Structures are given as C-alpha cells and as structure tokens.
Amino acid sequence: MKSKRIQCFGCSVLCDDIYVEFEEDGSLKTTINSCFRGNSFIKNYLSENRLSQSVQKQMGLEMFLGNEETISFLEKEISEANSINFYGMGTISYQDQLQVSLKIKEIIDKKKTVSIDGLNNSSEFLLLPSLSTIGQGINNVDVFIFWNTNPTHSHPKLFGKLLFSRGMFRLSGKEMKKFILIQKEDSDLTRLKDILLDISDQNSSQFIKEFEKLLDGKPLEEISLGNLSIENLRTLKTFLQATEYGLIVGATPLSDHVSISELSDFIQKLNSFVKGRFAYMPLTSLTNEIGMYSAVTKIFGMDDKIFQSKPKPADLAIVFGGEYLRDEFNPKEFEYPEKKVILFDNFKSNYSKNAIITIPYAIPGIECDGCATRLDGINVDLLKWNSPEEDVKTIKEIFERISL
Ligand code: SF4
C-alpha cells in the first residue's frame, strides 16, 4: 500500500505532517494524522460530489460548460460590469491571489470600480505584535488569552498541539500553561479555563477600559471586569505579572466593538505590565488570509486606494472558495448584495443555486502546486499529489486566460 506525506489546505494552520494512503487501484484509502476537518476537506475533493465542469444557470436550467465557454462567459460578464466586488480571496493560494490581483489591476485600468472584501481586515491584524511561530506557541507560551474565540473546531490540530503540552514537562522547564478565557458564551474551551471572563454584559471597548484600570494599578474594588470577583481579579493580576511569554488568540474579523488601535494600545499597555511580553495570533477564518495581503501589496503597493475601498453593492460579485461559505465555523455570514454572482466552488450548494455560474477549480496541495501563508506568517509550499479532471483548472490558469 502506498502512502504519501502531504500538506493540508483545510484551514490556516496548513499542517504539513499529514499522510494519505492509497488503495492498490490508486484511489484514496484514508488520511492519517489529519483532524476531522482536514479529513473531510481532503476526502470531499476526491468524492463523486465534486464538480468536474462549470455549471451555468439560465432561466432555471443548468448547462455544463467547457473551458473555452467558461472563459468567454467570464470575459463577457466582467466587461459588462461597471463595478465588481471580489470576495473570499483569502481562500486561494498565493499564486492564484497574485494572478487575480493582476487582473483586478487591468479591470481598474478600464475605469471600473473594484473592491476586495477582507483586505482591510487582514492588513489591520498584521499591525499587532505577532508570534514567531506556532512552535513557539506550543513550547514557550505560559499564558494564553483566548479572546472571543474557540479554536477547538475551527483550527482543531492547532488547539490539540497547544493543549497537549499543557501541564506536561517541557524542555523550557516552564510550569503549566494558564488559560484565560474572555468570552460571551460557554464553549468547549470553558471547562479548561483558569480564569473565565464572561463579557456577555460588557462590550469590548468597555471591557478594555476596565482591563486597563487593572494594568494601571487601580484598586480592585473599582474594577468591573466581566463577572470577576475581587479574588479572581487578584489571581488574574498575578498570572499576568508572572507571564514570560503570553499569547492572545483572537478571531478575525475582529469584534465589531473593538478597533485595531484600541487593541494595539491595550497590548502595548499589557506588555509594560507583564514580566515578558504578549503577542497576538489571529485565527484567520480563511486559509490564506495573510497571504492575500502580501499578494495584493505586491501588485498594488502599500498606499493604493484598493486598501481603503469598502465594498458597496456592485454590478457583479466574484466569489472564491465557496466551500468556506458552508463552513459552520466561519464567523462571517456571507451575503451578497450583488444581483449577479460568479462563484468559484467545487460543489453544488445553496450558494451555487444563486450564482449565474459555478466554476470548479484545482485545489492547492491536492491537485496543483502553490504556496500559502500560515496564521503565524510562515509560508508553506503546497504540492500536487492527485490529477484534477481535464476541465478543472487552477484559478491562476483561468485568470491568465481572461482577456479584457
Ligand atoms: S488543523 Fe487545519 S490544516 Fe491541520 S489537518 Fe485540520 S483542517 Fe487540515
């Protein structure tokens, strides 16, 4: 029986220690070392449900299109639209993002309006002090603050690794890791807490102000931090003061109630209070959200208005990675104000029902090579190990061929 080591493109942890085993006839037998999410991600792409051709909707009918027809369809729709919004660019590889960005530049040069959803978000959280690597999170961090986020489902292997080393002997000789949870409702993490800050009655801005009182040394009686008693406030203070290497794990997009500058000021203040320092790890909901920032910057530079543009309803939406839209752990509900949606997705879904065309594409790390940036900023090469159907091309190939 043959087996192969692969990289998983199932979430932004981009695990590179996954194996796949094949049957004698070359079909996939099983995945080894992947989490439940990665397992279903890989198996889905090799299942019979997978689209092997574009599906166009016309007057309630479905028509399957070949490559040439798909490209002509895209050229016509893009040329006719005066404004286009791109969604889900964080779900594709760096090479695909670069090619799409080049095409966006061409579209803008034709005096059309273009926005890229999520770009502001990814450029913002990169401003926060970041961790060096996931490995440092596992080996060095002694205090974790999980801020309104729960990686047990969204990033299962990451959380397993962080948890597994908890309380065990580590080379650094550090004591058990502490888990501080800031959350609005109970989750699978709740039972692992050392300190739980229930902020269901407090918005994030108020919460940060109260937290800063603690860091400023105000009397504990004057501080109203979530539901914490004076005794718990004292324990929290002790944990923080002793922290050598702390990590704030937060979801993206950031909470609507906290701005990046508030969070940045807060971390700065925290870092002058603790023994060592706290860094920030964004649990990006899209696999290559951080790579998107690099790709777009490479094509547009830092100051281009593309970073300021906020999507307003456009004539046309172009959506990548529709599989994420079905992801129950994706914090963002995608709703498209655009009447016309072109969807790059590999399965039929409720979203594809509303799209004028659904175009399957080759998945990096399975059907094509590529590169993506892990949530800690490390670039991971994704290598092809299975051939896609003849009409399934990479996003890069598709966009290279679009002529405007
Ligand atoms: S944690 Fe993410 S990258 Fe790792 S196996 Fe699971 S889905 Fe794949």
What are 260-272's pLDDT values in tens digits? 888 889 999 999 9
Compute the distance from residue 13 Cα to the ligand 1 centre, in Å. Answer: 6
Most ligand 1 atoms within 8 A of CB, residue of 34, 154, 327 to mutate: 34
- pLDDT tens-digit series, residues 198-243: 988 888 888 899 999 999 999 999 999 988 999 999 999 999 999 9
Range 125-283: architecture per CATH = 3-Layer(aba) Sandwich (3.40)
Residue with the nearest Cα to atom 8 of ligand 1? 38
The answer to whether residue 286 scores a pLDDT higher than 50 is yes
Ligand 1 mutation pick, 5, 7, 14, 15, max ligand atoms within 8 A of CB: 15
Out of 146-150, 175-179, 243-247, the most confident range is 243-247
Q: Which residues contact 132 (CB under 8 A, 6 or more apart)?
A: 279, 376
The pLDDT value given to residue 303: 66
| Maximum pairwise Cα distance, the chain | 71
pLDDT of residue 327: 55
Average pLDDT of span 136-164 = 84
Q: What percent of the chain has pLDDT over 70?
A: 90
Q: In whole angstroms, give the CA distance from residue 216 to residue 223.
A: 11
Of 7, 16, 154, 157, the one to substitute when testing ligand 1's pocket (max ligand atoms within 8 A of C-beta) is 157
What is the per-residue pLDDT for 78?
Answer: 97
Question: Are 337 and 310 within 8 A, CB to CB?
Answer: no
Measured distance CA(249)–CA(375) in Å, rounded: 11
Phi-psi region at 301: left, alpha or beta (left = phi > 0; alpha = psi -120 to 50)? left
* The pLDDT of residue 322: 66
Task: Check residue 342 and give its pLDDT.
Answer: 95
Is the pLDDT at 140 greater than 90, yes or no? Answer: no
Q: Is the pLDDT of residue 168 over 60?
A: no
Predicted local confidence at residue 331, as pLDDT: 46
Q: Which atom of ligand 1 is nearest to the CA of 11?
A: 2
pLDDT score, position 309: 65
Q: Which residue has the least CA distance to atom 1 on ligand 1? A: 157
Most confident of 35-49, 86-100, 244-258: 86-100
Q: What is the mean pLDDT of residues 11-22?
A: 93
pLDDT of 56 reads 95
The position carrying tokens 């100051």 is 303
Residue nearest to atom 4 of ligand 1 (CA): 15
Packing angle of the helix pair 204-215, 260-273 (nearest 10 deg):
20
pLDDT at 44 over 60: yes
Residues with CB under 6 A from ligand 1: 8, 10-11, 13-15, 18, 34-35, 37-38, 41, 155-158
**Percentage of residues in the chain having pLDDT higher than 90:** 52
Quote the ligand 1 centre to 155 CA distance (angstroms). Answer: 7
Angle between helices 289-300 and 94-109 (to 10 degrees): 40
Q: Which atom of ligand 1 is nearest to the CA of 155?
A: 1
Number of H helices, E strands in the chain: 14, 17
The domain ranges of the chain are 2-45, 54-122+287-401, 125-283
- Residue 305 Cα to ligand 1 middle (Å): 34
More confident residue, 336 or 144: 144
Residue pLDDT, tens place only, 305-364: 777 666 788 999 999 986 655 555 554 555 678 889 999 999 887 778 889 999 999 999
Query: Average model confidence (pLDDT) for the chain?
Result: 87
Q: Indicate the pTM of the whole model.
A: 0.89
- Residue 206's φ and ψ, nearest 5 degrees, are -60, -40
Nearest CA to ligand 1 atom 3: 14
Residue 273 pLDDT exceeds 90: yes
| pLDDT grade for 51, boundaries at 50, 70 and 90 | very high
Domain boundaries 54-122+287-401, CATH class: alpha beta
Task: For residue 156, give the ligand 1 atom closest to its CA.
Answer: 1
What order of strands is seen across the sheet that includes strand 195-198?
195-198, 178-183, 143-147, 245-251, 277-283
Q: Which two tokens stand for residue 333?
A: 């509900």
* Rounded average pLDDT over 93-98: 97
Mean pLDDT across the stretch 291-309? 83
Confidence at 112, pLDDT banded by 50, 70, 90 = very high
User: Which of 35, 44, 163, 284 to probe ligand 1 with, by most ligand atoms within 8 A of CB?
Assistant: 35
